[in-house]
Structure 1
Amino acid sequence: WNYATSYNVYLLAALETALGTDFGLSDMPGFSETGYFCIYMTGPLWRTFNYADSGDGAPHASQMFWLARRFDKPVYAWYQRHMASRHTHPLDLLWFDSRSKSPSEEDLSLDRWFHNVNVVFLRSRWEDERAIFIGFKGGDNKANHSHLDLGSFVLDADGHRWAVDLGADDYNIPGYFGRQRWSYYRLRTEGHNTITLNGENQDPHAEAPIVDFKSTPDLASAAADLSAAYGDLAEKVLRTVSLVERRYVLIRDVIKAREPVEVAWNMHTLASVKVEGSKAMLSQNGATLLLEVIEPKDAIVESHEVSIPPPQRPIKGIRKITVRPPSRVESVEILIRLTPLDK
């Protein structure tokens, strides 16, 4: 987003200052709304939902000032005023907009579905670093820089990121943008917070639409149809992520396979993990998150530290939680509850 919009605005601003017009290019459908994606994808810790080859740092986006002025969107200026307070770029000075309205002052919805990319963001509150934040994606495995990560998510709560996306690997390792791309852990399905069947990758050509979205005071949810990602192995894979009462998260996976398969539910975390039966207690710097397997009753919960071989960049301090039915299944529903435990 940052790369594309910044160069768009460089062009538009240059046309305006040199020729007095951008020839209507800034009126292209949707362009006035693009700044909302930047705001929604950034969680309460000023970390983004960094799917695909993205980093998780909130982007320094001087173009948000330009967009705020061009489209009368003070909330865009609110975002960039915060970023400029950390580090100022010359374009922040050139395009500075002194107006500033926070998302809560603008009465922005807590939840939003970005239809064209099939990505959803849910949160419990604006402007509170202890808020719950979920980034969840369907999407398109064919998109540039994509990973095989349909159905993946990140989760922030109580001032910590609990479910992490590992982001990109080194672009210079052999075949990163070629035939070896899907052999690297960070890009494989097993390296994301989603479902694997028989330990295999998702279909690199698959798309996963968001098929349901709700946003009410007590329930925010989104469902992604992941069936095409597992087409050779499953007739139906549907994942629904819900923020219930703005207090806890439910993740429901409904899987109907073509024949018995090994199913694994995966989540990567920086937290320490203590597994007790169908529960796992995650801890970070005094904060705690409880993971509970509601269905299936006989699920096996495991946790291990992730280690990958060179030439991939080392992964340090990441643990992977896996929930599995005890044997191969043809049909299963997995229901996981994630609850921040306030002190």
Structure 2
Amino acid sequence: ANHTHLDLNHISVGYGDTMLAVELGSRPYPADYFSQKRNSYYEISTAGHNTVLIGGKGQVSGRQGKLLGPLKGDGYEALTGVADGAYEVSTTRVRRHVVFVDKRFWVLLDEIQTPEMEPVELRFHTYGTATKITSRHWVFEQGQADLDILTPNTEVTSGLETPAGWIKPVTVLSMKAEAPAREHTLITVLQPRAKESAALDKVQAQKSEEQLVVTVESTEVIFEQTADGWRIKNVRLKK
């Protein structure tokens, strides 16, 4: 479709009426907006969305994705976005599992498999202020709302960018697994909150061949390995 963006597995997150991890939307249409040049506009590109780049590349126009779910259990609701084969580079599996835990925070599990070894990058856009708390904890701040963004992945390096291709200033948090691999399992925890509320303190992950346990403070989010990759199994809420 002429209005389609290359945005499979994009997420937007807000608190109350304040959007914190944002969708850029559209600009006033220039004369060449519906020409072949269209996909080069930043807000159309995969890089201009809160999703994944693989091998430094984005998605291909016309490729279809799908949503699996929702899955519901005690203390959680989950969806899985499927973008297998939708990238400029060859991909075997591109899944984003999104788990809403205890109506408080989100756990993202990005599951990426490629025939060749590739680096991957997660991107999150904000019109607010992005502040580094630690190497694996950032906060987006806007007005009276904050968004904690944490990862337990030690192989991920993070930093800020200011893309030149958009019509007004926006900040991008770039989180890169820079070492190329054929398989990446990346975890991101997002907590939107009022500014005066407590930030998330610590996120940990333990991974085996059969199970992945993400611990957010004392809540455990448990994924199991299936014939079709990772799948949410259950959540153990803190007492």
Instruction: Tell me the TM-score range normalised by the shorter chain.
Output: 0.7 to 0.9
Q: Please name the residue that 1:304 is paired with.
A: 161
Q: 2:221 is matched with which residue?
A: none
Unpaired runs of 5+ residues, structure 2, are 197-239
1:281 equivalent to 2:139? Answer: yes
Q: What is the 5 A alignment of 1:54-133?
A: none
Encode CA deviations 1:93-130: one digit per residue, 9 max, x unaligned.
xxxxxxxxxxxxxxxxxxxxxxxxxxxxxxxxxxxxxx
Deviation (angstroms), 1:341? 4.2
Q: Quote the Cα distance in structure 2 between the aligned partners of 1:287 and 1:159.
A: 9
Partner of 1:291: 149
Select 2:60's aligned residue among 175, 180, 203: 203
Check whether the contact 1:192–1:268 (CA below 8 A) recurs between aligned residues.
yes
Distance 2:15 2:74 in 1: 18
Q: 4+ residue runs of structure 1 moved beyond 3 angstroms? A: none
**CA distance in 2: counterparts of 1:144 and 1:180, whole angstroms:** 12
Matched with 1:64 is none
- Kept in 1, the 8 Å contact 2:148–2:190? The answer is yes
Ranked by relative contact order (alpha carbons within 8 Å, sequence separation 6 or more), the top structure is: 2
**2:4 pairs with 146, 149, 168, which one?**
146
The one of 113, 122, 129 aligned to 1:265: 122
Shift of 1:274: 1.5
Alignment pair present for 1:253 and 2:110? yes
Equivalent-residue separation in structure 2 for 1:198 and 1:169 (angstroms):
28
Partner of 2:47: 190
Q: Give distance in 2, aligned partners of 1:158 and 1:252.
A: 25
Correspondence for 1:169: 27
Cα deviation for residue 280 of structure 1 reads 0.6
| RMSD (Å) for aligned C-alpha atoms | 1.8
Corresponding residue of 1:315: 168
Counterparts of 1:215 and 1:163, CA distance in 2 = 24
Q: Is 1:269–1:319's contact at 8 Å kept on the other side of the alignment?
A: yes
Q: Deviations over 1:135-171 (max 9, x none)?
A: xxxxxxxx34101111111111154211111111232
Query: With structure 2 as the length reference, what TM-score do the two structures score?
Result: 0.75
Distance 2:106 2:157 in 1: 20
Deviations 1:162-206 (A, max 9, x none): 1111111232242x1121011111101100111111222312121
1:24 matched residue in structure 2:
none
Do the aligned partners of 2:139 and 2:148 also contact (CA within 8 Å) in 1?
yes
Task: Check whether the contact 2:156–2:178 (CA below 8 A) recurs between aligned residues.
Answer: yes
User: How far, CA to CA, are the matches of 2:13 and 2:177 in structure 1?
Assistant: 24
Residue number in structure 2 paired with 1:214 = 71
Unmatched 5+ stretches in structure 1: 1-142
User: 2:228 is matched with which residue?
Assistant: none
* CA–CA separation in structure 1 for the residues paired with 2:23 and 2:35: 22
Q: TM-score, normalised by structure 1?
A: 0.53
CA–CA separation in structure 2 for the residues paired with 1:225 and 1:195: 12
CA distance in structure 2 between the partners assigned to 1:299 and 1:257 by the alignment: 18
**Is the CA contact (8 Å cut-off) linking 1:304 and 1:320 kept in structure 2?**
yes
Are 2:237 and 1:237 equivalent residues in the alignment? no
From the superposition, tell whether residues 190 and 307 of structure 1 become closer, same or farther in structure 2 (CA, over 3 Å). same
State the alpha-carbon separation in 1 of the partners of residues 2 and 37 from structure 2. 16
**Which residue number corresponds to residue 182 of structure 2?**
330
Offset, 1:288:
2.2
Counterpart-to-counterpart distance in 2, 1:288 and 1:201? 28
1:284 deviation in Å? Answer: 1.5
1:209-254 CA distances to partner (integer Å, 9 max, x unpaired)? Answer: 1123124562111001111212742111111111100000111100
User: How far is 1:329 from its partner?
Assistant: 1.9
User: Going by fraction, where is helix more abundant, 1 or 2?
Assistant: 1
Instruction: Tell me which protein shows more strand as a share of its residues.
Output: 2
**Percent of residue pairs identical:** 22
1:315 deviates by: 2.2
**Whole-angstrom distance in 1 between the partners of 2:161 and 2:2:** 31
- Separation (CA, whole Å) in 2 of partners of 1:337 and 1:273: 16
Larger Rg: 1 or 2?
Answer: 1
